[in-house]
A and B are shown apart, each in its own frame.
Chain A
Amino acid sequence: MFGLSKRCNVVQLASALLMLVAHLATAQEEVENKIQEEDQVEAVQDRQPFRVLSDGMQYPYKETLDVTPLPHNHLLSSFEFEMSSKPFFPGVSSSGYDQYDHYTVFPRAIEPLLRRTFTKQLHLRFTRGYWNSEEWGRLPHDGFKSGGSGVELWAVVEGSSKEDAYNKWKSLANTLSGMFCASINFIGASDTNYPMYSFKPDELRKEGLPLFDSENELFLMHASLANEPICTENLTPLLKLLPSKGKSGISSLLDGHKIFDSVWHNMAIDVTTTCINNPKFENDGECRFEMQANVDMAVHVPSILARNKNPIPKPLDGNELHCDLSKPYDAYQCFPAPAQTEIQFTLSELFGRNISGSNDLSFTHSRICAHISDNWLATIKLDDGLFGTDDNCFELTENRFYDIYMESGSTDVILDKKEAPIYVSRSLTGYGQDHGGLRAVFNNPSDETVRLSYYESLPWFMRIYLSTLEMDITSEEYAQLTLNDIIESQYYVPAIDRKRSTQLEFVLAIPPRSTVALSYQFDKAILHFTEYPPDANHGFEIESLVVTILDPVPYQLRTSTLLLYLSTPDFSMPYNVIIISSTVMGLIFGTLYNLLTKKMVTLEEAEKVLATRTIKYKLLMVKNRILSKLGLLK
């Protein structure tokens, strides 16, 4: 669907030349080279799906919206925006030979940030809500574009040492915090982890991310702010990064009022550095930043429509009630009917806005696709006319207002949902505010063993006892399995108070059709008076457990965040405690000191001595002495 870029032509030409050269080599090499080069040409073509204007300026930008009905009248809308920067050579300062940087579609805010902080990959997630995977199936993009509830950030940063990389990461987090109006700046050393098995660090290294300095290393760092509120002030900066700025194309649909009114919503930004890595090409070593922004949301359509109709909820009239007539009912009350299966709506009803025009910037038109079964109808609405297509995909080509109209008589029939390969939940166990336990339950409904990586980061005030790690397995067939059979490998970095969080990673193999529960115990620490947040009795948010499936299908999911209650001191007491403790210590010490240093005498002696200590007695003595000096004393 995309024309070949000029660069692709050049690449093909170059590869043809190289193939010519290859003919001169031995027959064996020829075959090998051909295979290799064909692979590479394909790879390069895949990476550059964008058009180039005749002036040589590139506007590599593409946007799509996918609308997928989910069971029980839910609807998933996935916005995807892709863009990439102009090519550059890593390690060569662009201002060295050219005194200005030129930005087309790639955001002006991001590229200097990446260069300044030596960031090679950046992943930022803002997610809230609950994705009901048992009903809705897999997460959109197989979970690789969604985060745990709250804000999640991970990045691959080049640095000469871990400290150097951490400082750059900190700078990156601070800048992103300002850019996205989020509390990312609160990420510190005690929140940052260096994942071992999760977030694919090995594959990242294999991809050959470029180093500006060959003596440096790449560091993968991850941190998250559990249950951080996500708000329209995080969405607006994201829209500002798009070349259309939310004014035209599908991004004109994005309105904070509606997005944050959804059952589940997720905003993701992924920036990677991709390079041409073949010495046979003339542009070998050339790199570009590629950015993907995603906004996904799942809404319950009938409740949105009901709210449009009645912004203030009020009881329905009797004739609007959907009663279950198979159960007892009368004129005033009845059991509600099972959820209605007829539905009709337009996207403008769900988003509160029309789509204003297309993406005019690049030659890639905005594209909207509805992934629907035969029981559904999806049409594009243009000046009161409805138009349908065979594949239910619509290209927005003109600068007009568009809308999408969808209807179905049986919304319970949807396209085959893809079952999630595993269901994971995690909960806190125990009661009391001194000890507790964590229990993660893995339910593998499939017929194959699922290999997955388990990534958990816990704050330092949860003191984990890994020696208490236990496993329960429900399946009788695998009842004899032990912990060592389930855990293939383990990476454990214990927390250090106030300096480092616990990082616990496993590679687990969950046997088919079984439920495995891993649990372990921890102590809850007492913090210093000033370390408690202002709402200390609200509890502390614990970030989600990240599960990445390695086999059989790539998939990532996160559990809900947890709320941990810690015991609190009495915040009104500091002065009292200081005074009372000091008094008790002073009392005991004073008594002992007196006992050790004073002389033991009988009471009579003591009274005598005491009598000689009075001022009256001393004055008398002085008087006597004077009198005796003067010879007046008798």
Chain B
Amino acid sequence: MALETLMGALQGGKRIQLHPWYCPLPLLSAMSARTLPTPVLAALVCGLCVAVRMLGWLLFPSLGEALDKSAEFSSPVSSYRSLREALVVASGTMYDGGVVHHPPLLIEALRAVPTAYHRALFVAMDCLVAVQFLRMTAQIKRRYASISVPVWLPAVVYAVNPLSIMSCLSQSSVVFAHWAIVNAVSDALGGSIPHTALFVSLAGYFAVYPALLLFPLATFLLARRSAAGRVSVLVKLGLFVVLNAAVLLAASYKVSGDSWLFLRASYFSLLNFEVVTPNLGLWWYFFAEMFTEFIPFFKAVYNLFLLSPVVPLAIRFNAQPLFATVVTMGWILLMKPYPVLGEYGFWFVWLLYFQPLAGYMRYKVFAMLLYIHGIMLSPIFYHLWIGSGAGNSNFFYAVSLVNALAVGTILSDLLWGMLRHEYDGDKPDFDRKLAQI
């Protein structure tokens, strides 16, 4: 089946209908989503999510700790190690050091949960994300008739995706930002300004960069409104975001012992790339090798670079807010200082919604192979450099370049697909040869 699909894709990708290989589990493929009420489906997805993670946990008891130390799944700003470190130090002093980078409210929330239940908490968060995917897919399908993905598919893919599973086992705190992002998109689809603002602020509070999703998400809320209505929506959204951010920061100030140190530890250290640590991003080797005098300049350049296409993307694709959101997420992932594979696992789920574009995409096999090549070689080259000492840092640098190229190819191909889709309208014509001038 899979081979057939692959061949189909290679032959110009004309067959964009759903293929049986999308149904990894016979049980779910046998059931039509239409015949199942949503709560049952949610329970099934949640059960699957828990079962797969429990299985991983039981089969490989020490995998979580190993992943928490790996360069691919753990970063200084999201690792469970540094979260635990924050938990053993008193609230007032946890940011007076270089190890803790998590936001204070998250730390205090986890402090309230006994350490023994943390693993269960992370699994539960993953469940929430999966169920939220289910809800959101239903919303998306209601809004965009052209999106033909089955309602259960993104949630199930999130539940069984190895990158998400391993991220959950490593107890990476990226799941909190993911939960906020799915909620934000879902609420933006629902048209609720306060809720969108709340979840965008939360996502930004957890991981800084998702705050940029505010721009594409605003285009959800602006759709089908008059010019005057648009201004009022924007003002309201802006006000709610500022209000939420102010409340979150003020609460953080309070819980971290009346100190603003958390701003530097959780946010400024990201923008300033204070901890140079090997990862799949483009920052670390550049700044490890950069001449001291130019480091501040290039840090500014990298931050501006990350920021620059966000608003243009939101404007250009204001008619396709979901697309703008997903492309922005991909761009952030490509350019952020501390990307982890758990975030890629999350992002890939979103690509399922653009399955109608697959026929237009020119390099999808190439990009996929490039990406797989990158993540397969990454642990090997990392070990050669760090563990055995047989290789050097350039090995791992090469992997991060391959990864960037793969994501860049996916992004540009997606954009091309969407532009072709816009050109063709509702009647896809895969034989038409188009160029850009």
Q: Which residues of A approach B to under 8 Å, CB–CB?
A: 431-435, 460, 463-468, 492-497, 523, 525-530, 567-570, 573-574, 577-578, 580-581, 584-585, 587-589, 591-596, 598-603, 606, 609-610
Contacts and interface: CB of A to CB of B under 8 A. Distances in A.
9 contacts: A467-B81, A494-B97, A523-B277, A567-B278, A570-B392, A577-B286, A581-B285, A584-B401, A594-B436
Given A496-B97, A528-B288, A581-B286, A591 B412 contact: yes
B69 A434 contact: yes
Contacts of B423: 600
B408 A600 contact: no
A467 B289 contact: no
Contact of B432 (A530, A567, A602): A602
A568 B334 contact: no
Interface residues of B, number: 63
Contacts of A570: 392-394
Contacts of B331: 592
Contact of A526 (B277, B316, B334, B419): B277
Contacts of B258: none
Given A494-B98, A584-B401, A595 B292 contact: no
Contacts, number: 165
Given A494-B96, A578-B290, A603 B434 contact: yes
Nearest to A499: B98
Contacts of B57: none
Interface in B249-286: 274-278, 282, 284-286
Contacts of A460: 98
B291 A529 contact: yes
A600 B97 CA distance: 53
B411 A600 contact: no
A467 B85 contact: yes
A600 B291 contact: no
A533 to B, nearest CB: 15
B435 A463 contact: no
Contacts of A589: 305, 309
A599 B437 CA distance: 5
Residue of A460, A606, A610 with most chain B CB atoms under a 10 A cut-off: A606
B275 A465 contact: no
A589 B285 CA distance: 19
B98 A574 contact: no
B285 A569 contact: yes
A574 B291 CA distance: 8
Contact of B434 (A591, A594, A602): A602
B380 interface: no
A601 B434 contact: yes
B287 A528 contact: yes
* 10 A-B pairs closest in CB distance: A494-B97, A588-B408, A598-B436, A606-B435, A577-B289, A467-B84, A467-B88, A591-B412, A603-B433, A574-B289
A598 B415 CA distance: 12
Contacts of B387: 431-433
Nearest to A608: B437
Contact of B415 (A496, A595, A601): A595
Interface in B278-313: 278, 282, 284-292, 295, 305, 309, 312-313
A584 B84 CA distance: 36
Contacts of A568: 392-393
A580 B97 contact: no
A559 to B, nearest CB: 24
A623 to B, nearest CB: 25
B69 to A, nearest CB: 6
A467 B90 CA distance: 12
A567 B393 contact: yes
Contacts of A574: 289-291
Contacts of B291: 529-530, 574
B352 to A, nearest CB: 22
Given A526-B277, A596-B312, A600-B419, A588 B97 contact: no
A529 B313 CA distance: 36
Contacts of B437: 598-599, 601, 606, 609-610
The binding surface of chain B is classed by DSSP as helix
Contact of A595 (B85, B278, B416, B433): B416
Contacts of B89: 466, 492, 494
Interface in B294-353: 295, 305, 309, 312-313, 316, 331, 334-335
B178 interface: no
A497 B412 CA distance: 38
A588 B386 contact: no
B106 to A, nearest CB: 16
Nearest to A434: B386
A95 B157 CA distance: 85
A497 B436 contact: no
Contacts of B277: 523, 525-526
A521 B285 CA distance: 25
Contacts of A525: 275-277
A91 to B, nearest CB: 36
A465 B436 contact: no
Given A434-B69, A528-B288, A589-B305, 10 more contacts: A435-B69, A467-B81, A523-B277, A526-B276, A567-B278, A574-B289, A580-B401, A588-B405, A598-B437, A609-B437
Given A567-B386, A606-B437, A592 B99 contact: no
Interface in B69-86: 69, 71, 81-82, 84-85
Contacts of A578: 286, 289-290
Nearest to B385: A567
Contact of A600 (B98, B275, B436): B436
Contacts of A587: 405, 408
A596 B328 CA distance: 13
Nearest to B396: A567
B290 A497 contact: no
Contacts of B53: none
B399 interface: no
A466 B99 CA distance: 10
B433 A573 contact: no
Nearest to B415: A595
A529 B290 contact: yes
A536 to B, nearest CB: 12
A584 B433 contact: no
Residue of A523, A593, A601 with most chain B CB atoms under a 10 A cut-off: A523
A577 B285 contact: yes
Contacts of B156: none
Interface string B424-437: 00000000111111
B85 A465 contact: yes
A522 to B, nearest CB: 9
A525 B422 CA distance: 48
A252 B194 CA distance: 86
A434 B71 contact: yes
Nearest to B285: A577
B276 A527 contact: yes
A591 B412 CA distance: 7
B102 interface: no
Contacts of B69: 434-435
A581 B282 contact: yes
B415 A584 contact: no
Contacts of A523: 277
A433 B387 CA distance: 6
A603 B435 CA distance: 6
Contacts of A573: 289, 393-394
A431 B389 CA distance: 11
Contact of A569 (B71, B389, B393): B393
A591 B305 CA distance: 14
Contacts of B392: 568, 570
A602 B436 contact: no
B98 A595 contact: no
Nearest to A496: B98
Contacts of B405: 584, 587-588
Interface in B379-404: 385-387, 389, 392-394, 397, 401, 404
A494 B386 contact: no
